[in-house]
Amino acid sequence: MHIASFDPETGIFLETLPGQGYGPNSAWSRGAAWAIYGLANTYRYTGELRYLDAAKRAAHFFLAALPEDQVPPWDFRTESENGEPKDSSAAAIAASGLLELAKHVPQVEAHLYHRRAERILQVLSEGYVAWEDETYEEILMHGTGHKPAGQISMYR
């Protein structure tokens, strides 16, 4: 779920809305990555455990949904992964969030997050960086910002 609507008076959940993901009940990979990063950093600045716990849940969801090549599809819940673009930016954002998260958990957990972040960054640096093309404006190839609006890296 990317966007949720709540009644401003009661706080009762009303509905999910489509956003940058596949649909209202989808799992936009970049949104999940931002959740890891944002919640880990919110914990760093507030010290409130609810943010650390939420960051860990987001991280576990993201890591469990990653394909073997460590670069997520633009949305984890598309009807078919065949022909769907990946989002290298989501992978990079998640790796950054995982490294931040690793600073705030016991060593066993920290090792898991750190190791997975390193693997993602290794994959990105070996196959997704536009080192050779000086005309390419983005750093990472295969980024998908807002697929429903056509924001997909032209360098594929």
Q: Find the domain containing 126 and state its range.
A: 27-152
In a domain, 19, yes or no: no
Indicate the number of domains in the chain. Answer: 1
* Residue type for position 10: T
Please report whether residue 18 resides in a domain: no
Has residue 16 been placed in a domain?
no
Please check the confidence at residue 1 and state whether its pLDDT lies above 60: no
Mind listing the pLDDT tens digit for each residue in 101-142?
Answer: 999 999 999 999 999 999 999 999 999 888 877 777 778 877
Is 22 domain-assigned? no
46 domain residue, yes or no = yes
Q: Does residue 114 lie in a domain region? A: yes
Q: 2 lies in a domain?
A: no
Mean pLDDT of 41-64: 97
pLDDT of 19: 64
> Which has more pLDDT, 145 or 75?
75
In a domain, 21, yes or no: no
